[in-house]
Chain A
């Protein structure tokens, strides 16, 4: 029963990892930008949730109503103001600039909030759970998982059924030709980053409710996000959800064996999968 429980809890955790990954995957897919600061942006969203929920005295999940638009605006400004200028034939400048951004964010947060671990207080819902036989499923993890699946479904729908989604896919296929079809690259990239950071905002607030956080944990979240994207296969958003879930289950089973092995077990699962399927489990079909 403990093992089944571990798998179920791992699956629910995987939803959160998929949210970490979705923003990363979107940014890479549309503009071939590897965002090293992604983990720190997740942490920034968690702190933003903390400040807003304490300042306004509202529930952290309600604070999402503000965190999401703020992060989206920040994303658009960041892309148009800085990141667009780093994109070109050379992949090094965006890596360096986002690495620098990561350092700035970490130290900025450290300066403002100190290194003390913080947590978002979600109240009674944190301990409430649904009993299924011997399994106890927390309402909060269930809610977060459902939200993750809904967000990923919405992203998938957006890609295939809206003008913006088609603009993203066209740019992803052939950036130069897309511009000759009248597509304003700078704006489309700004929108992609805005959308990615809106998803990141949700991920950050969920993270802050689930566990305690401090300014230094961004790097680890970035790695989990990367692993989920790669396990699922680049360019496949449902694959990203699967990747997150597989990573979550791996970590959860590792922790079941020995509490110290949680993160290690996740990395081992990731290594095993790329050793067998270097392009991930569900790579995009077209070349």
Chain B
């Protein structure tokens, strides 16, 4: 498996607050990586740096072998990366189908019947077909989260970045969302998933990284990470003897 994404000493700070502190790590093609860490650790900033919403002050970012550090967000999306937002950000004035269509036309460069086919396939996979003609602004939380996923998938990404997509959902909702994400993964899409709902995360990912103060403090197999004392203390806030 080749390297799909690589960060090299990526750093970004706002004054004294460092959101990415010389981060160097990589993701293999087809890998599913989970990201955990306390609030404010720099997880979402990491996504902003990768997708081009935020520029690093130093360091380089590579995607599929190309240096994308200076690429604008739109170009990175067309090259094959897509993200969902923690707080869903639908195009509220447009229908669910139109939301998907914008992603398929702009992100995947599809036109006409092909764009239509992509949208219908993705809406079916994400369970949004019954809502295809509803205005995105009128959706429930679960539907909005599904739309985040659907819109990202319509850009036909090689790398899917999920930002707390399971947060705020009931167990049942969460379970079906996890199943959808597993199905996406089975199609060969690489995934980086930030999530506080750890059991959902562990059901999908095969590697876990822990971030705190913009630094990577652990990287490895999920079971080993979750068992480590440092992670339990920092992330879960548990006493050492629990």
Contacts and interface: CB of A to CB of B under 8 A. Distances in A.
A179 B105 contact: no
Interface stretch (B3-11, B13-21, B93-101, B166-174): B93-101
B111 A177 contact: no
Q: Most A CB atoms within 10 A — which of B73, B111, B135, B151?
A: B73
Interface stretch (A40-48, A63-71, A80-88, A168-176): A168-176
Nearest to A163: B105
Q: Most B CB atoms within 10 A — which of A167, A173, A180?
A: A180
B107 A170 contact: no
B93 A182 contact: no
A184 interface: yes
Interface in B80-130: 82-83, 85, 89, 91-94, 98-99, 101-103, 105-109, 111, 115
Q: Is the interface of A mostly helix, strand, loop or mixed?
A: helix
A287 B151 CA distance: 21
B51 interface: yes
A178 interface: yes
Interface residues of A, number: 21
Given A166-B94, A174-B89, A284-B93, A180 B53 contact: yes
Nearest to B83: A180
A185 interface: yes
B137 interface: yes
Given A170-B94, A182-B103, A183-B74, A177 B137 contact: no
Given A181-B107, A182-B155, A169 B73 contact: no
Contact of A176 (B53, B92, B105, B107): B53
B162 interface: no
B77 interface: yes
Interface size, B (range): 20 to 34
A176 B75 CA distance: 13
B73 A286 contact: no
B72 interface: yes
A182 B77 contact: yes
Contact of A166 (B102, B111, B137, B151): B102
Contacts of A181: 74, 77, 82, 102-103, 106-107, 151, 155
Contact of B74 (A172, A173, A185, A284): A185
B91 A179 contact: no
Contact of A182 (B53, B78, B94): B78
A183 B89 contact: no
A182 B135 CA distance: 22
B75 to A, nearest CB: 8
A138 to B, nearest CB: 39
List of 7 A-B pairs having minimum Cβ-Cβ separation, nearest first: A182-B107, A182-B77, A173-B91, A182-B106, A286-B93, A183-B106, A179-B73
Given A179-B77, A286-B137, 5 more contacts: A166-B102, A179-B73, A182-B78, A182-B108, A182-B109
